[in-house]
Structure 1
Amino acid sequence: MKLVLSTDNKNKIKEIKDVLKDLDIEILGKSDVGCDFEVEENGDTLYDNALLKAQAIADKTDFYVLADDTGLFVNSLGGDPGVHSARYASEHNDKLNREKLLKNLSDSEDRSAYFKTELVLIDPDKNIIPIEGICEGNIIEEERGDNGFGYDSIFMPLGYDKTFAEMTLDEKNKISHRSRALQKLKIKLTKIK
């Protein structure tokens, strides 16, 4: 079985390979199958964006295809930044995104939030299989920690006294939204085989 990821991001490929390591699956990046193009993520939801990316590759190959999109949803901001998490401050800049979010939350008592990852798996028969992973938590008032990326230094998962950026990669990967989605993917792939 071959699984093509809608990315060439080495860290993402490594993470997915690690979760699926005990399955007999060859995992490939999109350029490995001649799909080294970018897909415009202009969907209204994370699912829409993941589907756009998966469909673009599924149209060019008969292997399993996997795409994802992730966002941070803050309850008191009506779900913002949500699908626009990567470009919340109008450009793809993690520091500016965090600063804008903290500013927008400065007068809010409700700092509850959740990360959501949407995976879309398309099988060789072109069936679409959506998978979701969520990690709930709170946005703290100032950055803490040097690990991770994005909003990790201001997101503290429920039941923990450390931000994602204060956790080791192993600690984060046991509870993160992406890890939860990938564990569900692993179960689905095990049933397929």
Structure 2
Amino acid sequence: MSTILPLVRGSRLVLASHNKGKLAEFSTLLDGYGITVVSAGELGLPEPEETATTFTGNAELKALAAAKAAKIPALSDDSGLCVSALDGAPGIYSARWAGPDKDFANAMQRIEDGIGGNERTAWFICVLCLAFPDGTTHCFEGRIDGTIAPAPRGQEGHGYDPIFVPADETRTFAEMTDAEKNRISHRARAFEAFRATCLA
């Protein structure tokens, strides 16, 4: 692996996502580092087809596509909710379970229907990938374990946050403030590894 040069103040970084919730979350995480974050959606970049079979593979696909199209470094996130009783599903297909209309209420109901009376262990995985226009990539993984709540709770966050209760917590991610979630989430843990290596 080549040496990773840190991103310095004044750098521009494209977030390889069209998800406004993720853009807000990453803008908060990167606040204070002097890096301008612009989303792939703002630049009008197409969303590449996620054809890989792992979080890392899909993160690399997205980051490379954005970095080469924008000609600046790109940061992508591939993350998902894995449910033990569903053999790890929805996993890398978490977004696709919500369908083209991003109907996460329906996706959360699918999970509840699938669990039935089985145990409710679950975990979130996040892989961040930093890619450069020359094709170089560096990936960082974060994970948080927890359980699935019997019904959605809370108005904060996005995606599956209303049904995920982190270990040692009684609240779902959606019942936490952004600051509380960002201290413990899978994305925050992956970001910490990225921060320690890639931010000056």
What is the TM-score normalised by the length of structure 2? 0.84
> 1:161, 1:145 → 2: CA distance?
12
> 2:44, 2:132 → 1: CA distance?
17
- Give 2:173's aligned residue: 164
Q: 1:134 to 1:61 in 2, by over 3 A?
A: same
Q: 1:23 to 1:59 in 2, by over 3 A?
A: same
Q: 1:138 to 1:98 in 2, by over 3 A?
A: same
8 Å contact kept, 1:19–1:186: no
Q: Secondary structure at the match of 2:69?
A: coil
Cα-to-partner distance string for 1:21-40 (whole Å, 9 max, x where unaligned): 232323222356x5522212
> 1:15, 1:151 → 2: CA distance?
15
Higher relative contact order (CA 8 A, sep 6+): 2
1:147 is matched by which residue type in structure 2?
E
Q: 5+ unaligned residues in a row in structure 2: which ranges?
A: 1-10
- Give 1:130's aligned residue: 139
Q: 1:62 to 1:147 in 2, by over 3 A?
A: closer
- Give 1:36's aligned residue: 45
1:45 is matched by which residue type in structure 2?
T
**Residue 25 (1) aligns with residue 54 (2):** no
Question: Deviation at 1:69?
Answer: 1.2
Question: Deviation at 1:140?
Answer: 1.9
Question: Deviation at 1:17?
Answer: 2.6
Q: 5+ unaligned residues in a row in structure 1: which ranges?
A: none
Aligned ranges 1:76-155 → 2 under 5 Å = 76-88=85-97, 92-108=102-118, 110-123=119-132, 125-155=134-164
Q: 1:188 to 1:94 in 2, by over 3 A?
A: same
What is the TM-score normalised by the length of structure 1? 0.86
Q: 1:8 to 1:77 in 2, by over 3 A?
A: closer
- Give 1:186's aligned residue: 195
Question: Deviation at 1:74?
Answer: 0.9
4+ aligned runs moved over 4 Å, structure 1: none
Question: Deviation at 1:161?
Answer: 0.8
> 2:114, 2:40 → 1: CA distance?
37
